[in-house]
């Protein structure tokens, strides 16, 4: 069995809501509410859900780009959640992120060479000549040319910018990459190129991915296992094949019913959820999905279902299976 590289236990991220003349706390937005999962070395774990469900906040909390409210984050046997700033700076060599927006994540005032050199400078790695050589090597790895190093971000297309973002994340030879919707801002044809590049890099460099996305067909293409989030909580987690062939949670079933099929002859029953997503500032009691669930029972309204294994590593938080 491959060891776990990342283990997240009971992760919570709450944002205070303030109001009144004195700015007192009058409520809390539960962006991430008690999420637990693990990622094995060399694995890709996909994290999916509607906009605002807490996917990106989870990814950034793991790297402590956002400070978690509660919970434990274990990376390669080390407790990231208890580290000082200096300890965290050292371990960040092994944990990198690819941001969603390739237009906003690159400094427009710097050329590519300076952008990509920065991680090496921050960590005191190499001479100027060695850093320059490393930049040229990584540009070649992601399918660009060494002469691109002197260009500025505005001189590249969206797909090329995302390749630069991936190259920057790889400069320090990390073990884990959090990919926060890395292809959602790209054209479909470019999406497939970037996804194939990420898979090739994973195979060649032994990378582990936490791949955050809302496009289920993209997640299916790249992920070994998939976790589904709803309103800050994990509601289902299993292998990619199992999730797409046999989704158990009613929310997962509704999500998958909306994925278009390439074969026009195949008719799929569309599950239309009633109502809107509740506010994370005032989530429903019990199961947060009960206000929209077509199979709701009385117990769902008052008792929060446990996120438990129903067989073969298939985790689900639903009273239909937690009997």
Tally the domains of the chain: 1
Q: CA dihedral in degrees (174, 86, 108, 185; nearest 10)?
A: 50
Give the dihedral sign, CA 133/190/261/296: positive
Judge whether 203 and 27 are in contact, CB under 8 Å.
no
Which two three-digit tokens encode residue 315?
Answer: 């985790």
Domain membership flag for residue 322: no
* pTM as predicted: 0.90
In the β-sheet with 4-19, what is the strand arrangement from edge to edge? 24-40, 4-19, 70-75, 78-79
Domain membership flag for residue 286: yes
Instruction: Please report, for the domain that includes residue 157, its CATH number.
Output: 3.40.50.300
Domain membership flag for residue 321: no
Domain membership flag for residue 90: yes
Domain membership flag for residue 180: yes
How do the pLDDT tens digits run along the chain, 323 residues long?
578 999 999 999 999 988 878 888 888 999 999 999 999 999 999 999 888 889 999 999 999 999 999 999 999 989 999 999 899 988 999 999 999 888 888 999 999 999 999 999 999 998 999 999 999 999 999 989 999 999 999 999 988 999 999 999 999 999 999 999 988 878 888 888 889 989 999 999 999 999 999 888 889 889 999 999 999 999 999 999 999 999 999 999 999 888 777 767 777 777 878 878 888 888 899 999 999 998 999 999 999 999 999 988 999 999 998 75
Beta partners for residue 16, in sequence order: 28
In the β-sheet with 308-309, what is the strand arrangement from edge to edge? 95-98, 176-180, 208-212, 44-48, 225-230, 233-239, 315-316, 308-309
Domain membership flag for residue 203: yes
Range of the structural domain that residue 185 is part of: 4-316
């Amino acid at each position: 069995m491959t060891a776990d590289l990342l283990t997240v236990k009971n992760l919570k991220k709450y944002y205070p809501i303030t109001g009144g003349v004195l700015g007192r706390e009058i409520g809390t937005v539960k962006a991430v509410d008690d999420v637990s999962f693990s990622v094995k070395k060399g694995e890709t774990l996909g994290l999916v859900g509607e906009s605002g469900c807490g996917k990106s906040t989870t990814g950034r909390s793991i790297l402590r780009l956002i400070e978690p409210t509660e919970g434990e984050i274990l990376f390669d046997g080390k407790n990231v959640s208890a580290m000082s700033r200096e300890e965290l700076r050292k371990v960040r060599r092994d944990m990198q992120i690819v941001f969603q927006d390739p237009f906003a994540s690159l400094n427009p005032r710097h050329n590519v060479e300076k952008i990509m050199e920065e991680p090496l400078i921050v960590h005191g790695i190499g001479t100027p000549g060695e850093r320059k050589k490393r930049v040229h090597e990584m540009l070649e790895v992601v399918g660009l040319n060494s002469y691109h190093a002197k260009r500025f971000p505005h001189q590249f297309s969206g797909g090329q910018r995302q390749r630069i973002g991936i190259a920057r994340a790889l400069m320090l030879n990390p073990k884990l990459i959090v990919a926060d919707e890395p292809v959602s801002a790209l054209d479909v044809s470019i999406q497939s190129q970037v996804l194939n590049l990420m898979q090739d890099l994973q195979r060649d460099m032994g990378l582990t991915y936490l791949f955050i996305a809302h496009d289920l067909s993209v997640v299916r293409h790249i992920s070994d296992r998939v976790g589904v989030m709803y309103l800050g909580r994990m509601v289902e987690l299993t292998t990619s094949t199992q999730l797409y062939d046999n989704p158990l949670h009613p929310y997962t079933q509704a999500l998958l019913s909306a994925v278009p099929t390439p074969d026009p002859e195949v008719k799929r029953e569309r599950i239309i959820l009633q109502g809107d997503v509740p506010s994370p500032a005032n989530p429903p009691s019990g199961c947060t999905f009960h206000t929209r669930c077509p199979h709701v029972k009385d117990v769902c309204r008052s008792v929060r279902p446990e996120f438990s294994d129903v067989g073969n590593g298939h985790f689900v938080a639903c009273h239909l299976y937690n009997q």
